[in-house]
Amino acid sequence: MYFAALLARTEDGWEASDTELDDVETLSDLTDLAREASVDEDTVLVYIEQEDAWFGVVRVDGEEDPRIYVSDASAAARSSYGEILLTDEMLGREPGAEDEIAALEELVGLDGTEDGEPEEAGEDGGSRTAAETPDLDLDQDPDAVPAGPLGDLGLLADLGVSEKDLLTLRSDALAEIADAVGAADVLEAVR
């Protein structure tokens, strides 16, 4: 079960609304949704939570790139909405690296040899498996997502939520964030 809310800063304070993410498939879609809620290109916070397993905050300030924080990246990676937040940049991957890896995997057979190349003979004269090839690290998964918090720890610092405070938020994080930024009353009205 997911819960998502938008907090948009206005001249008169904050406006809050719960939001449906059914039409959101990418970070770009989520950013567009936030910008639509923005008044005069002011700050918008998008909060997404999955039943106390993880939460994420996306901050959009005008036309600037979104800033993202995820409380537990490995839990978020198992979620369709969490995957939206976990960008290649956050995960330390080259943009488009997944496409390049998939293309390379097509060129290399399951036995670790390129198409048309003979298999390398092992010590006993048989072919070597990937486990017997010394320069292959089978434990290293290029798609692995780190456990724990990931992203911009300072995205709420100017709004009253320090890096340390952000790291300690667990259950009902949205209420604590809304309280810190002065939006608790408007948030309660939409919950």
The dihedral formed by the CA atoms of 91, 93, 99 and 103, expressed in degrees to the nearest 10: -130
pLDDT digits (tens, 9 = 90+) for 97-110: 455 555 455 555 54
pLDDT of residue 96: 59
CA distance 111 to 77: 29
Q: What pTM was estimated for this model as a whole?
A: 0.74
Query: Does the pLDDT of residue 87 top 80, yes or no?
Result: yes
Spell out the residues 6+ positions from residue 55 whose beta carbon is closer than 8 angstroms to its own: 47, 48, 49, 70, 71, 169, 173, 174
Quote the tokens at residue 113.
């040899």
**46-55, 73-82, 118-127: which range is least confident on average?**
118-127
pLDDT digits (tens, 9 = 90+) for 13-27: 999 888 888 889 999
pLDDT of residue 141: 56
Query: Does the pLDDT of residue 126 top 60, yes or no?
Result: no
Alpha carbon separation from 35 to 66, 84, 97 (Å, rounded): 10, 17, 28
pLDDT of residue 156: 96
